[in-house]
Structure 1
Amino acid sequence: MKSIKIGDICSENRVVTVPVSTKTKTLVDIFNRNNIQSIVVLKEEQTAGLVMRDKLFYRLGSRFGYNLYMQKNVEAVMDSEPLIIDFEESILKVSKIAMKRPQEKIYDSIIITKNDKYYGILSIKDLLIEVSELKIETAKNANPLTGLPGNLSIESEIKERIRREEKFSVLYLDLDNFKAYNDSYGYRKGDQVINYTAEVLNNCAQKMVTNTFVGHIGGDDFVIITAAEDDQYLAEVIIEEFDRGIRNFFKNKDLLRGYIVCLDRQHQIVNTPLTSISIAIVSNSDRKLKNHLEISDRAAELKKKVKEMPGSNFIKDRRMKTTNGEFELC
């Protein structure tokens, strides 16, 4: 699914902020004059707390509440531990975090920070609308077998990261000797292996701290887009998890001998190694990448090289820009 930063959809202008010295009476006046649901409390440029309209008026409406709180500072009525999220987090990750809050806080606004300073705020309503629209958009282009985003979403994700001038890597993944597996075990078992691969990629992507996108080009070809500094670690984790579980899809006799006996394209009996995974990594950490086509072309070169290696492996594009503007492989 396309990764959208939470900071891109939060509100900077429609939010009222007040200093910690503000009286509760002032908060009441602000809420009465404005159609807003929350007020952010700041101490200099740092978030000190959050006041939700419904909770404040509920507290003031309790017995002795009005007399008890109206002349006190905002600290007496604010939530000093609101949900605070960094600008760079994906909306999907934030939605999961928000929904795991205690029941009494589940509809409270989310505070967004950038460079450790207050940036803006996001209501749960706006978050859920954005998530719903994103899921609808993704579903339209999803692979029917795995449910993963397809080529249009992959292209859009790459374009967006280039636009943001992010340092990112694209991992192109495909299965080795998958045709032999399909021919020997049948397409139903082949589909199970494809779904297993998608599950492995999703599981590994969710372990990453940075935004990581998983897409399905088609067949046994997949794509992962992640932060440049995480690419090799992610590739290693994927290979480890894939190799550990792929054995469950083979018969014992094939596992014992380490290969499948099948017919090649010339209808000759051949011994084909067990299914493994190959990963080609293209990154803009050392050079500028203009578009998804340039990335795809370079990945195609790398895939040929990595598939020459036995078993599951990955290879990374390490071409560096020289003084004359050309690129050489390091």
Structure 2
Amino acid sequence: MEDIGYGLLDRAMIHQITERWRHGGIGIIVLQLRHVNAASLEAVQLWESQQTRLFWRYRMENDYFFFLNRMKSDRQMKLILDSAITSLKKGLQAAAAESSVDERAKPPFTIGTASASPSGLGRSAETMIYHALRDATLSMLRLRMKEDETELPFGSGQAGARSEWSSSVGIGILAKAIPTFDLHAQVSSLAKLFESNTHVQGAVIVNQGRPVGLVMKEKMHQMLAGQFGLPLYWNRSVEKIMDDDSLVVDASIPVEQVAQLAMARDISRLYDVVTITRNGKLLGAASIRSILECITNLRTEEARTANPLTGLPGNAAIQREMKQRIESRQPFAVIYADLDYFKWYNDCFGFAQGDALIRYTAAVLQDVTGILGGRGDFIGHIGGDDFIILTGSSAEDADKLCRNMIWRFDGGIKSFYNGEDVAHVVDRSGNRIEQNGVSVSLSLVYCDGSEDITTEHISQAAARLKKQAKQLNGSVHVMGEVFEKHLGEGRV
């Protein structure tokens, strides 16, 4: 077997992959080990020695990247990858069984894959390689998140029902100290730092306290390792070798948004650290690994406190999200949704049907918000038949949201009566009410961002509006501002 290339994002790697891509395609395996020990390392090395199609590899902490090639006369790349992954899993599972590390709570490893083959669509080899590497990494991360969530009491099946709960957690919480160098410092000084500190992966280049560039150790070593690298750069300023287009984000930007920006970068920057600022000044940096692990932890923690019936975030997440919006001083609207005569429905049709109706209501709110709302809108399940929506929409658009939620809800509620013609309901006092079954009341509180308010103020306003809505028959929405008694009402 040929010697296996070792490195990531260097010229030799790109050349080797491009050649094999043109002659039949490549397959990528991304392996993440939760714990690296002697047994797992030995299993990986043994597996490598058995893979005749493995031509390139790279390790970054606990993440391993393997590249396999396919000749035109070979079987499909999917079959090659499936065979390779099966043997890799077998070896790692055996290693885990021998290890003293308790791996019962979580799988000891996660594997993602992707492939790229000449498609004749006019895309360059570099583009295909980049997308394949990104897809393999993302598939591994999705599987990792799914594996983590299987420990939860209601499993991972609710994941698709959840909103983007990490939207209120800023990237600033991940900022770690990183070496800094002045714009005019010499490359030799930076090289000496990297040589004496093996754990330092990069340095931020600053000018008057503001980050203006980034130098990653691996890239600098590649640059200096060339034929004329040392004489050309050793005594030059770091400005000559820094990346002046690195990813720099403010500490307030949500972690998930930063992850999306980072994974959308060019392949040559995919694993560069992210520089974090506050008010334009350097705060620190975060590695891609720490960002992705943070997302996993956030989702797992939020899922633990989510409503088990709908999978929507519960009160802790609701309070945090509302406080974040209040502190932003940006206008937003709060919609409280409450079912009318839900107790009557449970008594008549049973709790199982009642649960189905709760899930239906959650789906209506999510569907309408997903279509008409904004990207950062939040949906929470307060408990029972009470829900909340936080949206950055204008008062007019929030009003439109409410009207469409009512239209969608009323359009499907009849299917929950098992074919019965419902002409009246019974309230909690036993009084007969002439109404065609369950309805939904929406309280719309608009916050313009100009006043000092608290979550208690919003709750009090919502309670006032809810009382007004409950006095009306059928599905309705009532709109008002935090400190106003009543601006208007709408009915559908």
Shorter-normalised TM range: 0.7 to 0.9
Query: What is the aligned partner in structure 1 of residue 312 from structure 2?
Result: 148
- For 1:289-304, what aligned pairs fall within 5 Å after superposition? 289=453, 292-293=455-456, 295-304=458-467
Deviation at 1:145, TM superposition (A): 2.9
Query: What is the aligned partner in structure 2 of residue 26 from structure 1?
Result: 189
Which protein shows a greater Rg?
A: 2
Query: What is the aligned partner in structure 2 of residue 5 from structure 1?
Result: 170
The alignment's TM-score, normalised by the length of structure 2, stands at 0.52
Distance, in Å, in 2 between the alignment partners of 1:178 and 1:59 is: 71
Structure of higher RCO (CA pairs closer than 8 Å, 6+ residues apart): 1
From the superposition, tell whether residues 240 and 118 of structure 1 become closer, same or farther in structure 2 (CA, over 3 Å): farther
Distance, in Å, in 2 between the alignment partners of 1:277 and 1:64 is: 73
Distance, in Å, in 2 between the alignment partners of 1:141 and 1:77 is: 47
Query: What is the aligned partner in structure 2 of residue 323 from structure 1?
Result: none
SS at match of 1:79: coil
SS at match of 2:436: strand
Distance, in Å, in 1 between the alignment partners of 2:173 and 2:462 is: 30
For residue 192 of structure 1, the aligned residue among 357, 360, 367 is: 360
Q: Does the alignment pair 1:238 with 2:401?
A: yes
SS at match of 2:302: helix
Q: How many residues align?
A: 307
- For 1:234-313, what aligned pairs fall within 5 Å after superposition? 235-236=398-399, 238-239=401-402, 242=405, 245-246=408-409, 249=412, 261-265=422-426, 270-272=434-436, 278-281=442-445, 283=447, 285=449, 288-289=452-453, 292-293=455-456, 295-306=458-469, 313=477
Contact 2:447 2:481 in 1 (8 A): yes
Contact 2:424 2:437 in 1 (8 A): no
Query: What is the aligned partner in structure 2 of residue 324 from structure 1?
Result: none
Deviation at 1:31, TM superposition (A): 1.7
For residue 283 of structure 2, the aligned residue among 119, 124, 130 is: 119
Contact 1:85 1:110 in 2 (8 A): yes
From the superposition, tell whether residues 102 and 241 of structure 1 become closer, same or farther in structure 2 (CA, over 3 Å): farther
For residue 383 of structure 2, the aligned residue among 208, 212, 218 is: 218
- Structure 2 unaligned segments of length 5 or more: list them: 1-164, 416-420, 488-492
Cα deviation, 1:2-46, whole Å, max 9, x if unaligned, reads: 5211123313xx222222222222211222233321211123343
SS at match of 1:133: helix
Distance, in Å, in 1 between the alignment partners of 2:173 and 2:383 is: 30
- Structure 1 unaligned segments of length 5 or more: list them: 253-259, 321-327
Query: What is the aligned partner in structure 2 of residue 255 from structure 1?
Result: none
Q: Does the alignment pair 1:77 with 2:238?
A: no
SS at match of 1:319: coil
- Say which is worse superposed, 175-184 or 96-105, in terms of deviation: 175-184
SS at match of 1:120: strand
Deviation at 1:119, TM superposition (A): 3.2
Distance, in Å, in 2 between the alignment partners of 1:261 and 1:43 is: 72
SS at match of 1:134: helix
Distance, in Å, in 2 between the alignment partners of 1:138 and 1:302 is: 29
From the superposition, tell whether residues 133 and 234 of structure 1 become closer, same or farther in structure 2 (CA, over 3 Å): farther
For residue 67 of structure 1, the aligned residue among 231, 249, 253 is: 231
State the superposition RMSD in angstroms.
3.9
Cα deviation, 1:122-154, whole Å, max 9, x if unaligned, reads: 222222232222122111101123322112332
Deviation at 1:295, TM superposition (A): 4.1
Give the letter for the 2:319 counterpart: E
Query: What is the aligned partner in structure 2 of residue 48 from structure 1?
Result: 212
State, as a whole percentage, how many aligned pairs show the same letter.
28
Contact 1:282 1:298 in 2 (8 A): no
